[in-house]
Structure 1
Amino acid sequence: MSLAPRLLRSLDPLAVAAGADIPDAVTIGGITLSRSDLLGAATSVAERVARAERVAVLARPTASTVLAVVGCLIAGVTVVPVPPDSGAAELDHMLTDSGAQAWLGEAPEGTALPVVPVRQHARSWHTYPEPGPDTPAFVLYTSGTTGLPKGVVLSRRAIAAGLDALAEAWSWTAADVLVHGLPLFHVHGLILGLLGPLRVGSPLVHTGKPTPANYAAAAGTMYFGVPTVWARIADDPDTAEKLSAARLLISGSAPLPAPVFERLAELTGQAPIERYGMSETMITLSARADGERRPGWVGVPVQGVQTRLRDEAGEPVPHDGSSIGGLQVRGPMLFDGYFGRPAATAECWTEDGWFRTGDVAAIDAAGFHRIVGRESVDLIKSGGYRIGAGEVETTLLGHPGVAEVAVVGLPDADLGQRIVAFVVARDTAPGEQELIDHVAGQLSAHKRPREIRFVTSLPRNAMGKVQKKQLGNGSPTPPPT
């Protein structure tokens, strides 16, 4: 699918002028906006911010956020989406680092920046020329697992390429209805979940909170969710049955546990789609709507993407499905760099032009990819072996007594690192040795955990990703009784 000149091509002023409306283009926060509503109100926003370079948007799941983002895209103004639950230090860093000149729409109390209102019922039919494809659309701040968050600069060209590649992989058309309740300050909910429908022309229903009840109440053909959402739906057979009429169930932002994958397939009659990406790359790997779907694997490269694996010495790793290495990618949807940080940007790229994702993966002979985890926390070097935390986690999740698990490598004087599993048990906690033996019975013996620590919950960020760097600093927690 080629790039269209207009990023949000379903918001075509000529089509609106001719009366070709989409009455339910976006439903969010109890408000339904037609294509005409979106174009008129967002163009009114564009008139207010057209002379700005960058503005901050407090990205609550509201119609105001939608209009703010679309208005900026119409005017060619870069959006800095701000998580609504940002702490004072995070907020100050994002605003200062990005150089945002104003808040657009809602603003936190006590802000020193000017606030530009977003008026839902205002209308303007002024026509703006389409900004150039290299115009920065967003500065998205990463989760900041190592130091302060960095601003990821995504161009209009990259976003268009990424969305078109997904439309091709997922057979996504204007006949679809997308349903999700994801945050509007990350790639998953904002770019895929909002701009995707506006590019393809498919209606969007944002459920506010991504609860099983809200998903069941929305009649969609495509559903986006993080693994936590899908796990709750898998535990709710009535909801899962109501989603069985959907065309695609798509999971991302964190690995989907194999038992959840299999339970969803059993209850809905279809295996979920898993895909892989990050703020810097958008989505580069995905199972296809017309292709194979495997639990624990995130599919094949999407249109225009190439991948490769390298070991610590920079040497190629065989694509045999089991050997693991650092995943490197290249393609048209990659970011333009970290805002104001040329040195940090340069560090992410190889001399021959590949982006180092920082993730560890395996690739099989058919091109299917399995993500093992982050090189910094998920590549465990124990007793001379290189072990991926992900396969140990998947094996532990196959035990009926394990609800959630995170595996890390902690310092060990003898082994270098010892494998430690943090386990959230189901109703009755299994014994520590029982879980160790369970892994040793299914994987190589050197991949077994040396220690099991039972916890009541795992630390997660807003997208449901486990924050492993918060684990391992305290003493073992006794199992629940």
Structure 2
Amino acid sequence: MLLPSLSGDVPDRADAVRVDGDVISREALRAAAGAVAADIAGAGTVAVLATPSVATVAAVVGGLLSGVAVVPVPPDTGAAELAHVLTDSGAQLLLAGEPDAPVLADCPIPVVPVDQGRRGEVPTSGPAPSTTGLILYTSGTTGPPKGVLLSHAAIRAGIDAVAHAWDWTDEDVLVQGLPLYHVHGLILGLLGPLRVGSPLVHTRRPTPARYAAAGGSMYFGVPTVWSRICAEPTAARALSAARLLVSGSAPLPAPVFAELEGLTGHRPVERYGMTETLITLSTRADEPRRVGSVGRPVRGVQARLVDDAGAPVPADGQTFGALQIRGATLFDGYLHLPDKTAETFTADGWFRTGDVATVSEAGEYRIVGRASADIIKSGGYRIGAGEIEDCLLTHPQVREVAVVGAPHDDLGQEVVAFIVGEQSLAARTLVTYVEKRLARHKRPRRVHLVESLPRNALGKVQKTTLLSLMESGTLPGGN
């Protein structure tokens, strides 16, 4: 069973899920999910307006327990994207704790209100492990968002693997304030505690004050969250009593790693995963945690690095290779896109992640970045954008950085840095700063000082957007 803590055989717990000030017990959640299951009986796929609420939790759990495929929809989605997701997924109903939300005004399918106070019986026979549990839509950087099919078996394997890696038990209290429509906030952050049996405190928004007041033993956050917590030392020090701080969804800058350690006494755990693979690499709770390392493959997963010809790269911690994954946590394919699915797998069954990494002799991986955005091919050199970003972040006047490769007639690509920092910063100063610390060919040839960096809901910088803004001359406050 995917959610054993809701099986009815586990003792009830009054504080199973807390979203801001709204609390629901295991038994009440099970009954609320049963009411949802009755509402959607006979449907093959349902969408859920994934607001941070107990109603969303009941809707997702009701769908999973009844064997209906669940499609989480971001509450801030636009009308065109909503129409695409609903049409592509074939969702027959949309469950919403806020049925009057503006985005639903022109919803093309029936909207079913979710009332967490209603009660019903959970279906006695659970879905088969191979049944699709979730259809998560990826950001459409190369076209419309694609539906990723995740089975109950893959979700279960993914949660169990990280629980093993992090010594996660029902004695923990997990705190997070992440969106409930991505792997990080939904599968790890919601289904994880429901499977393990640990209480969940969802802070609705991941602010430093709310994290500090939550009193958890485990905290999940993205780099932006940890950076903001470090900017409020009192809030950061309040996390000292926790057992584990976990960072993911994007690389954690080295300065933030160091600040967290200094303020909380904890070196954060970093891990790596994708919508298509769930979490595949992680540092263990009982192992040393190194800046930039995402550890080793979790239980049930294998990883390898290959060069452009498909040959293994040396485990020397230096040589770049394309990261490939196989194991129990992999998705079943992209909905309605068999050719695209086939393209992502090698002939011998490994999933091509599209990320580039290095691996040490000890088997620890370090993610260099996306092959398409973070590996810069300039003048015959292969340059990792992350190394330059980490260097620039050590400058005392720099707050945020994004480094990209822009087309260049002679070099192929040139290194371009986008910097958020103090007004007195000078672009030439930063070029010299990098030149003195890294190889000369890694220095930025262009530096843009901007007001902000475009990010998605998980805090990942949208580098393709930056390039487009640069080319059109519309960078926010750029010079």
TM-score by length of 1: 0.95
Following TM superposition, by how much is the alpha carbon of 1:479 offset from its aligned partner in structure 2, in angstroms?
Answer: 7.6
* Residue 199, structure 1, aligned to residue 190, structure 2: no
Q: Indicate if the aligned counterparts of 2:165 and 2:298 stay in contact, CA closer than 8 A.
A: yes
Aligned to 1:86: 77
Distance, in Å, in 1 between the alignment partners of 2:160 and 2:359 is 24
Among 399, 405, 410, which residue is 2:401 paired with? Answer: 405
Aligned to 2:151: 155
Q: Indicate if the aligned counterparts of 1:50 and 1:76 stay in contact, CA closer than 8 A.
A: no
| Matches for 1:91-240 after TM superposition, within 5 Å | 91-105=82-96, 106-107=98-99, 108-240=104-236
Residue deviations 1:112-154, cap 9 Å, x none? 2112232212212354212100000010000111111100000
Following TM superposition, by how much is the alpha carbon of 1:10 offset from its aligned partner in structure 2, in angstroms?
Answer: 0.7
In structure 2, the residue corresponding to 1:293 is in which secondary structure? coil
Among 451, 455, 458, which residue is 2:450 paired with? Answer: 455
Change (3 A) 1:219 1:413: same
Residue deviations 1:297-348, cap 9 Å, x none? 2111111111111222222221111111211111100100001110010000
Following TM superposition, by how much is the alpha carbon of 1:478 offset from its aligned partner in structure 2, in angstroms?
Answer: 9.7
Letter in 2 for 1:409: G
Among 48, 65, 79, which residue is 1:74 paired with? Answer: 65
Aligned to 2:459: 464
Distance, in Å, in 2 between the alignment partners of 1:480 and 1:54 is 45
* Residue 430, structure 1, aligned to residue 425, structure 2: yes
Letter in 2 for 1:399: H
Task: Decide which moves more: 362-371 or 67-76.
Answer: 362-371
Aligned to 1:271: 267
* Residue 11, structure 1, aligned to residue 17, structure 2: no
Following TM superposition, by how much is the alpha carbon of 1:41 offset from its aligned partner in structure 2, in angstroms?
Answer: 1.0
Distance, in Å, in 2 between the alignment partners of 1:109 and 1:479 is 35
Q: Indicate if the aligned counterparts of 2:303 and 2:325 stay in contact, CA closer than 8 A.
A: yes
Q: Indicate if the aligned counterparts of 1:454 and 1:478 stay in contact, CA closer than 8 A.
A: no
Aligned to 1:52: 43
Q: Indicate if the aligned counterparts of 2:280 and 2:298 stay in contact, CA closer than 8 A.
A: yes
Task: Decide which moves more: 281-290 or 432-441.
Answer: 432-441
Distance, in Å, in 1 between the alignment partners of 2:266 and 2:366 is 20
| Matches for 1:183-332 after TM superposition, within 5 Å | 183-332=179-328
Q: Indicate if the aligned counterparts of 2:137 and 2:148 stay in contact, CA closer than 8 A.
A: yes
Task: Decide which moves more: 189-198 or 109-118.
Answer: 109-118
Distance, in Å, in 1 between the alignment partners of 2:424 and 2:478 is 7
In structure 2, the residue corresponding to 1:435 is in which secondary structure? helix
Letter in 1 for 2:114: V
Following TM superposition, by how much is the alpha carbon of 1:401 offset from its aligned partner in structure 2, in angstroms?
Answer: 1.5
Following TM superposition, by how much is the alpha carbon of 1:30 offset from its aligned partner in structure 2, in angstroms?
Answer: 2.1
Change (3 A) 1:262 1:55: same
Distance, in Å, in 1 between the alignment partners of 2:423 and 2:32 is 54
Distance, in Å, in 1 between the alignment partners of 2:213 and 2:391 is 34
Distance, in Å, in 2 between the alignment partners of 1:431 and 1:295 is 28
Following TM superposition, by how much is the alpha carbon of 1:432 offset from its aligned partner in structure 2, in angstroms?
Answer: 2.0
Q: Indicate if the aligned counterparts of 2:65 and 2:122 stay in contact, CA closer than 8 A.
A: no
Q: Indicate if the aligned counterparts of 1:287 and 1:293 stay in contact, CA closer than 8 A.
A: yes
Q: Indicate if the aligned counterparts of 1:59 and 1:83 stay in contact, CA closer than 8 A.
A: yes
Residue deviations 1:450-471, cap 9 Å, x none? 1111111001011111110011
TM-score by length of 2: 0.96
* Residue 443, structure 1, aligned to residue 443, structure 2: no
Q: Indicate if the aligned counterparts of 1:402 and 1:423 stay in contact, CA closer than 8 A.
A: yes
**Runs of 5+ consecutive residues of structure 2 not aligned to the other structure:** none
Residue deviations 1:353-373, cap 9 Å, x none? 100000111111111111111
Change (3 A) 1:480 1:125: closer
Change (3 A) 1:267 1:109: same
Q: Indicate if the aligned counterparts of 1:29 and 1:63 stay in contact, CA closer than 8 A.
A: no
Distance, in Å, in 1 between the alignment partners of 2:341 and 2:457 is 25
In percent, how many aligned pairs have the same letter? 61
In structure 2, the residue corresponding to 1:197 is in which secondary structure? helix
In structure 2, the residue corresponding to 1:405 is in which secondary structure? strand
Letter in 1 for 2:178: L
Aligned to 2:28: 37
| Matches for 1:326-365 after TM superposition, within 5 Å | 326-365=322-361
In structure 2, the residue corresponding to 1:442 is in which secondary structure? coil
Aligned to 1:3: none
Letter in 2 for 1:154: L
Q: Indicate if the aligned counterparts of 1:393 and 1:406 stay in contact, CA closer than 8 A.
A: yes
Residue deviations 1:242-268, cap 9 Å, x none? 000000111111111100000000010
In structure 2, the residue corresponding to 1:299 is in which secondary structure? strand
**Would you say how many aligned residue pairs link Structure 1 and Structure 2?**
471
Q: Indicate if the aligned counterparts of 1:453 and 1:476 stay in contact, CA closer than 8 A.
A: no
In structure 1, the residue corresponding to 2:210 is in which secondary structure? helix
In structure 2, the residue corresponding to 1:68 is in which secondary structure? helix
In structure 1, the residue corresponding to 2:436 is in which secondary structure? helix
Q: Indicate if the aligned counterparts of 1:179 and 1:224 stay in contact, CA closer than 8 A.
A: yes
Distance, in Å, in 1 between the alignment partners of 2:181 and 2:476 is 37
In structure 1, the residue corresponding to 2:168 is in which secondary structure? coil
Q: Indicate if the aligned counterparts of 1:360 and 1:373 stay in contact, CA closer than 8 A.
A: yes
Following TM superposition, by how much is the alpha carbon of 1:57 offset from its aligned partner in structure 2, in angstroms?
Answer: 0.4
Change (3 A) 1:479 1:400: farther
Following TM superposition, by how much is the alpha carbon of 1:477 offset from its aligned partner in structure 2, in angstroms?
Answer: 6.1
Q: Indicate if the aligned counterparts of 1:103 and 1:116 stay in contact, CA closer than 8 A.
A: yes
Distance, in Å, in 2 between the alignment partners of 1:342 and 1:476 is 38
In structure 2, the residue corresponding to 1:365 is in which secondary structure? coil
Change (3 A) 1:410 1:49: same
Q: Indicate if the aligned counterparts of 2:344 and 2:352 stay in contact, CA closer than 8 A.
A: yes
CA RMSD of aligned residues (A): 1.5
Distance, in Å, in 2 between the alignment partners of 1:349 and 1:395 is 35
Letter in 2 for 1:49: I
Distance, in Å, in 1 between the alignment partners of 2:477 and 2:79 is 35
Letter in 2 for 1:80: V
Q: Indicate if the aligned counterparts of 1:454 and 1:476 stay in contact, CA closer than 8 A.
A: no
Letter in 1 for 2:14: P
Change (3 A) 1:157 1:126: closer
Q: Indicate if the aligned counterparts of 1:429 and 1:479 stay in contact, CA closer than 8 A.
A: no
Distance, in Å, in 1 between the alignment partners of 2:28 and 2:173 is 18
Change (3 A) 1:296 1:123: same
